[in-house]
Structure 1
Amino acid sequence: MTMPAPIDPIVARAAERGERVGVLVLVDKPSRQGPVPLSLDANLRTLSERVQEVRHKAKDLLHDPSARSSRSAAGLQPLSMDGNDIERGGVLLENLGAVMAAIDPADLSKISEVGGVRKVIPMPHFLPLIVPMQYRVAAPADLIDGPAKSLLRIGIPKFWDADLWGAGTTIGHFDTGINASHPIFAELRSGKRLRYAAFGADGNRISRARPRDDHPEHHGTHTAGTLVGAGVDGFQAGIAPKAKLVSVQIFPGGVRSQGDQDQIVVNALNWIVGERPHVLNLSFGDSKYNDSYLGIIGELIDQNIAVVAAVGNGGVDKSSSPGNYGSVIAVGAVDAKGRVCPFSGSGKVKKNARPDVCAPGMNILSAGRGEDFAVSTGTSMAAPHVAGVLALLRERAPDLTPAQLKDLLKKHARVPSDWDVSRGGAGIVDGRALLAAV
């Protein structure tokens, strides 16, 4: 007899309160070794086929009058109650290997018993952008000849000397979008190394969306510049300028409901996972502990994606989710003298000390509006320094797992003499030491 799939405690608690629950129904992952599980037909070899089969089984069960709860006339549905264009049975997320749906509490146990279901986890809730502490348009005097000062402080040119520029790696960029017409991204465009997606207020992907960044401070453009920006007139802002960037814009205007916002996040994650990034940079977060992302973050890491998140700008004893999850690489901010910035978040959450490491986050020079460069401050500016370093490490050693990358960052971080571990974690990212270690 097949055991029911586990149900995440967050989902179970919501169901106990009688609430209709937004869930991700995760399916068994196909294996290249051994037989396909007996719960599924032997010819269902791909993850996409498995997801579709599970959805059909769940839909058939919940729409069977003899099996459906007397209180439930809907069974498993899309989260949007007016989503008439989506077939009942939930939204397919082929890349994540899941079905996204809303389910009545009385039907929850039935879903866990459907053949091929591996786990039922909560829908991540939409979280706000971690807004920079300050922003200004760069003056001509800011544009030095050579690498940005923040890159010099963490030893990035040593990677370039070893011919490590990010070639063959893919960086996921989960932000406000990208001003792709900026000169810093000219090589990214000409090399066809930019993939972009945007999602509308209804949660669905916008067909043929052109890259854009509507944020007043061009937050996504700035972080993308630190990740992959190429040289402009002798100035170099990007750490991995030969990497591929898959950028998704997740903060549209006119969103009608929390459910639609949640669907934007999950659909965007499903799209970006399909692009197979080696590292994912996140610059959003709740100002307190919010565990709705735990399940989905775990799935991303299981798919060998190193997840980097800003720890937040709340200062001492405050951190942001998902940056305060133990499974992610949480990044705090330091100034030009290697001191932890007063605004940089820190603390212990669920026995996990945050952040893991720090990187430059004060007065960071990168791309801005139009053809301007911009100077911005915050842990969102620090996080892409770490994500860019990870792309270079994965170019050098492709087989390194997310856990191994995290251990390397911490083990080989630079620790100033007056360093406060409780505020800055293991130390400041040190490219020289990392390069020597791998």
Structure 2
Amino acid sequence: MRKLPGTTLFAALLAAAVLPAPASAAGAESYVVLLQDGAALSAFTADPAVAVTHRYESAVRGYAARMTPATAARLARDPRVALVQRDGVATIAAQSVPTGVDRVDAEVSPTARIDGVDERVDVDVAVIDTGVDLDHPDLNVHTAGAKNCSSGRSADDGNGHGTHVAGTIGAKDDANGVVGVAPGARVWPVRVLNNKGSGSFSDIVCGIDFVTAHAGEIEVANMSLGGSGTDSACGSNRDAMHEAICRSVAAGVTYVVAAGNSAADSATFVPAAYDEVITVSALADFNGKPGGGAASTCRADVDDTFADFSNYGADVDLIAPGVCILSTWKGGGYNTISGTSMASPHVAGAAALYKATHPTASPAAVKSALQAAGTSDWTTSTDPDGTHEVLLNVATS
């Protein structure tokens, strides 16, 4: 080996002593570096003390890289550098609490625990509908529990309605999108309606049959659907859908159903007319607060009143928000729609909260508990009949 002159050897040792710490060194962090006009980007990105993650050449000139704070300080002193900034973290806009979730006081429920932390309600809810977006990031979809009784080849939602229902029931409390009444509840997609939102009673019975087969796992089922029909006695074998629901309820599944949107007596709609289910009418609410006076938003109606489209009558057990409800939608999106279909899942979410703390409660006990916890804090004078159902409230659930 050739011996270096003393001064050269000293210089080499000195250079080695001041070599910058590698970007992989302990304590490395992410920084954004902007350069002065005319500075060569390549002169900086070749620096062994930085691990470049992005190069900027259009909107700004510079780069992003991982480096130690000491390296960042050195760069900040370089006259060719305009800015060295510690990297930050951005997320999509903060999670929205839909007006319906607010109005039923789910945000103060000790079981829902809505605080932006994804702690999921340990309850299984079947959504008997158009299916559910199986990949929606804001839903806890139990894909292994999906069932298709309708057209198509899967329980994936080609309409949007079922996904909307699922979000009101249990959208995750994860600081993104929206949050449901029972955040993170496991959703079982049971597709009985096609992409146009219609389906046969036989398809619906297929869905109920599937839910009943899994009654040991599914605590609550939501049916935001209906057709013409009347009530009958369990065991009378007058109505296949009713018989299926009678046996499913007997197996322990709590059914929550929409009253219907014909501004008529729900006694002429099934499954709304069945005594064994929880039938839900719709409240028009535009700000999540009692008292009325809020301006209408997505459709014309009057704040804090019985929704002008909602069915009514003695078969209705509870009222819940059902006008201009923001929730999840197919394709990973979100949408605002109205209907008793939107009121029903608020109650299904409430039933899920109750079952989370009362796992042995029968469907009849769940119905009684939700009715007992409800309030009359809405403009009951607008109810088109003499039966003023209580407004869902889950503040203590």
TM norm. shorter chain > 0.5: yes
Q: Which amino acid aligns with 1:305?
A: V
1:338 is matched with 304
Q: Is the 8 A contact 2:255 2:277 kept in 1?
A: yes
Q: Is the 8 A contact 1:314 1:345 kept in 2?
A: yes
2:261 is matched with 313
1:369 is matched with 330
Structure 1 residue 233: Cα displacement: 5.1
Structure 1 residue 232: Cα displacement: 6.1
Residues 333, 237 of structure 1: alpha-carbon distance in 2 compared, 3 angstrom cutoff:
same
Counterpart-to-counterpart distance in 1, 2:178 and 2:309: 27
Provide the identity percentage: 25
Residue-by-residue CA offset, 1:332-379 (whole Å, 9 max, x unaligned): 0001143110111012xxxxx131110010000011232321001000
Q: Is the 8 A contact 1:355 1:423 kept in 2?
A: no
Task: Please say which structure displays the higher CA radius of gyration.
Answer: 2
User: For 1:395, what is the secondary structure of its paired residue?
Assistant: helix
Alignment partner for residue 227 of structure 1, among 169, 189, 195? 169
Residues 424, 225 of structure 1: alpha-carbon distance in 2 compared, 3 angstrom cutoff:
farther
Alignment partner for residue 271 of structure 1, among 199, 207, 210? 210
1:401 and 2:345 aligned: no
Q: Which amino acid aligns with 2:344?
A: A
Residues 409, 398 of structure 1: alpha-carbon distance in 2 compared, 3 angstrom cutoff:
same
Residues 378, 194 of structure 1: alpha-carbon distance in 2 compared, 3 angstrom cutoff:
farther
1:360 is matched with 321
Structure 1 residue 288: Cα displacement: 4.4
Q: Is the 8 A contact 1:360 1:381 kept in 2?
A: yes
1:281 is matched with 222
Q: Is the 8 A contact 2:304 2:378 kept in 1?
A: no
1:198 and 2:148 aligned: yes
Structure 1 residue 296: Cα displacement: 1.9
User: For 2:390, what is the secondary structure of its paired residue?
Assistant: coil
Q: Which amino acid aligns with 1:331?
A: V
Q: Is the 8 A contact 2:111 2:353 kept in 1?
A: no
1:53 is matched with none
Residues 300, 316 of structure 1: alpha-carbon distance in 2 compared, 3 angstrom cutoff:
same
Counterpart-to-counterpart distance in 1, 2:224 and 2:270: 10
2:192 is matched with 250
Residues 365, 200 of structure 1: alpha-carbon distance in 2 compared, 3 angstrom cutoff:
closer
1:148 is matched with 98
Residues 272, 294 of structure 1: alpha-carbon distance in 2 compared, 3 angstrom cutoff:
closer
1:387 and 2:348 aligned: yes
Cα RMSD, aligned residues only: 2.8
Counterpart-to-counterpart distance in 2, 1:162 and 1:212: 27
Residues 263, 356 of structure 1: alpha-carbon distance in 2 compared, 3 angstrom cutoff:
closer
Residues 168, 419 of structure 1: alpha-carbon distance in 2 compared, 3 angstrom cutoff:
same
Residue-by-residue CA offset, 1:161-211 (whole Å, 9 max, x unaligned): 6759663311111000011222312xx25xx5762111355xxxx8xx544
Counterpart-to-counterpart distance in 1, 2:380 and 2:157: 37
Counterpart-to-counterpart distance in 2, 1:266 and 1:287: 15
1:328 is matched with 277
User: For 1:224, what is the secondary structure of its paired residue?
Assistant: helix
Q: Normalising by the residue count of structure 1, what TM-score does the alignment of the two structures yield?
A: 0.56
Q: Is the 8 A contact 1:223 1:366 kept in 2?
A: yes
Residue-by-residue CA offset, 1:386-433 (whole Å, 9 max, x unaligned): 00011011101112211111112222211036414637642110112x
Q: Normalising by the residue count of structure 2, what TM-score does the alignment of the two structures yield?
A: 0.61
Residues 211, 268 of structure 1: alpha-carbon distance in 2 compared, 3 angstrom cutoff:
closer
Q: Is the 8 A contact 1:151 1:239 kept in 2?
A: yes
Q: Which amino acid aligns with 2:183?
A: P
User: For 2:146, what is the secondary structure of its paired residue?
Assistant: strand
Q: Which moved more, 1:374-383 or 1:331-340?
A: 331-340
2:392 is matched with 429
Q: How does 1:6-21 map to 2 (within 5 A)?
A: none
Counterpart-to-counterpart distance in 2, 1:230 and 1:246: 15
1:299 is matched with 247
Counterpart-to-counterpart distance in 1, 2:184 and 2:225: 25
Q: Is the 8 A contact 1:170 1:279 kept in 2?
A: yes
Q: How does 1:60-79 map to 2 (within 5 A)?
A: none
Counterpart-to-counterpart distance in 1, 2:263 and 2:143: 36
Q: Which runs of 5+ in 2 are unaligned?
A: 1-92, 233-238, 286-302
